[in-house]
Amino acid sequence: MFDAMTKSEVILREAEAIRSYVKEELRPKMYALHGKDTLIIEAMSTTYISTRIMARFAETMPHYVYRRVSLNPHNPKNLADPFEEEMFEWFEEDSERLFWQGIVKKNGDSFFVSMLPDYFTPACIRCHGAADTAPKELIERYGTEGGFRFEAGDLAGINSVSIPVSDSLREAWQGSLVLFAITLFGSLVLLWLLTQVFQRLVIERLGVMLSLVNEKKKESGASAGPGDELDMLTASLGSLNSYVQSARKGSSLQPNFIGDYVVEKPIASGAMSWLYDGHSVGSDAKISLKIGFDEVLQNPLYKACLETELHLFETLSHPCLPEVKERVEDVLILSEIRGSSLVTLCSEKPLGGRQLLTMFSQLCDLTATLHSTGIVHHDLRPQILMLDDEQRLSLIDMGLAVSDQQPDPIVAAGLGPQGDLLYLAPEQIQGRRGDPRSDIYGIGILLYLTTTGRLPFTEKKKSSIQKWLQRKEQMVNPRIYRPGLSAALEQVILKALSYDLGNRYQWVEDLWDDLKKCE
């Protein structure tokens, strides 16, 4: 493993040396010979030259993989995969993170990966700033779709080298398995010995003591009162004996009860609560339970939000909302919620055709129903949408919803943006609430995700508001991730995700009408 660590870092440093040579010597020489307006990609592009040289290296060392990736590259071949997108977030969280190494699974094999971040300098902006000022040679080769709208200091890309280590890990695993088997066998033998000692020194002696006490009690007269010392000693020893016997067998934790219901494993988390599986004690019927987070129940502001959510579930009726059976204090007992979350389904494959239309017909109808009753959801995310085997959609959370019939505790408290910034509309990030068009933006995000399997942008959670707004305005076109996407569906997605509220769909019904035509 140490050998792989050293080799991957050496190869990565060599690739970086090639890039530095192009920046510091080759590119200035080409400018001197041909002028500042010249761009000869084969002799001046650090990405092109390093990837071409390392591709030739890979011909002789096919298992050593060099990659230069970006979230928005000129060349679609250099688009980051999901793991690399996570690494972009990791490097952006702290600008002092200049190197990463670790083991990554790819196509069933394990690789030791070394990574270096690369940031744009002012000289890079000529080719990566505005498309209308970029060199014509670059536009002719790659077009104007990707690789632009960057500023100096932005994270340009990640350079990585992967070295296969599956064989080494397999050998280490086999050795660990043998060691584990030996340790387990030794532990079982030791446990058996301790059990025998415990039986001899404690259990058998307790039994003998109880017998002696009972005999002494008979000798002293059977009419002794129930409160005498011998009775008390007998009872105490009997309790101790029962306790020890129980401890030797082990005792499992009792299930958590709420009223007449047993709480089982958690299904999903919402904005203010957990959703659990459960069943009725009497009938054994399956149910689901909505239970507020401990910190929510202790905070008056968030408890008010939870109370609004529980009230909405109790008073609203729609096929996509679970039926409320009863309320036990701050817990809702719901009909059983089945299926998988939209996150799980989209991780398997993008949706399309009838499945896509079936799901969004339900989601649009539900959202339109909410809007017609003066409710804005504010938090449409794939994690809180469940789809069962019969393609029935269930919304399981309304923790950030607001109704025009009730005060909004979040506005009253003057809080900033609430929810996952990946899914919030731009105006929500700026603090605005209560606009139904924010839910239309959320539907647009879900439509983008279900058709491409990706989100339109990635950003670290702790980014500034301004950085998030910039990402929302410069999202990646869905055709980058799904080249075969129809033009009609592309336009529906882009209109739903319009940064400008005036250019966005104004009514959910209009979005659904256009989406039906994309079939």
Residues of the domain holding 175: 171-249
Asked which of 249, 272, 297 is the last residue of a domain, the reply is: 249
Q: Are residues 227 and 276 in the same domain?
A: no
Q: For residues 328 and 440, state if they share a domain.
A: no
**Last residue within a domain, chosen from 214, 232, 249:** 249
Residues 428 and 346 in one domain: yes
DSSP H helix total and E strand total for the chain: 21, 15
Q: Which two tokens stand for residue 74?
A: 């000129």
**Both 416 and 443 in a single domain?**
yes
Does one domain contain both 263 and 227? Answer: no
Could you tell me which residues come within 8 angstroms of residue 7 by beta carbon, excluding any fewer than 6 positions away? 163
- Interatomic CA distance for residues 123 and 129, integer angstroms: 10
Closest CA to 11 of 63, 48, 46: 63
What is the C-alpha to C-alpha distance for residues 261 and 486, in angstroms, rounded to an integer? 49
Q: Say whether 112 sits in a helix, a strand or coil.
A: strand
Q: Other CB atoms closer than 10 Å to residue 388's CB: what's the count?
A: 12
Q: pTM of the entire structure?
A: 0.53
Residues 307 and 225 in one domain: no
DSSP string, 259-273: TTEEEEEEEEE-SSE
Backbone phi and psi for residue 208, each to the nearest 5 degrees, phi listed first: -65, -40
217 plus 310 within the same structural domain:
no
Structural domains of the chain, count: 4
Contact status, residue 330 vs residue 297, Cβ threshold 8 Å:
yes
Residues 214 and 69 in one domain: no
How confident is the prediction along the chain (519 residues), in pLDDT tens digits per residue?
445 556 667 777 777 888 888 888 888 888 888 887 888 888 888 888 888 887 787 777 767 788 889 998 988 888 988 899 999 999 988 888 888 888 888 777 888 888 999 998 888 888 888 888 888 888 888 888 888 888 888 999 998 888 887 766 566 666 777 788 888 888 888 888 887 777 776 666 666 565 665 565 555 554 444 445 555 555 555 545 544 444 444 433 445 888 889 998 888 889 899 999 999 988 889 999 999 988 788 888 888 999 999 999 999 999 999 999 999 988 999 999 988 888 888 877 777 778 889 999 999 999 999 999 999 999 999 999 999 989 999 999 999 999 988 888 888 877 778 888 889 999 998 888 899 999 999 999 999 999 998 888 865 556 778 888 888 888 889 998 888 889 999 999 999 999 999 999 999 999 999 999 886
H-assigned helices in 349-458: 353-372, 409-413, 426-429, 436-452
Asked if 517 and 495 count as a contact pair (C-beta separation under 8 A), the reply is no
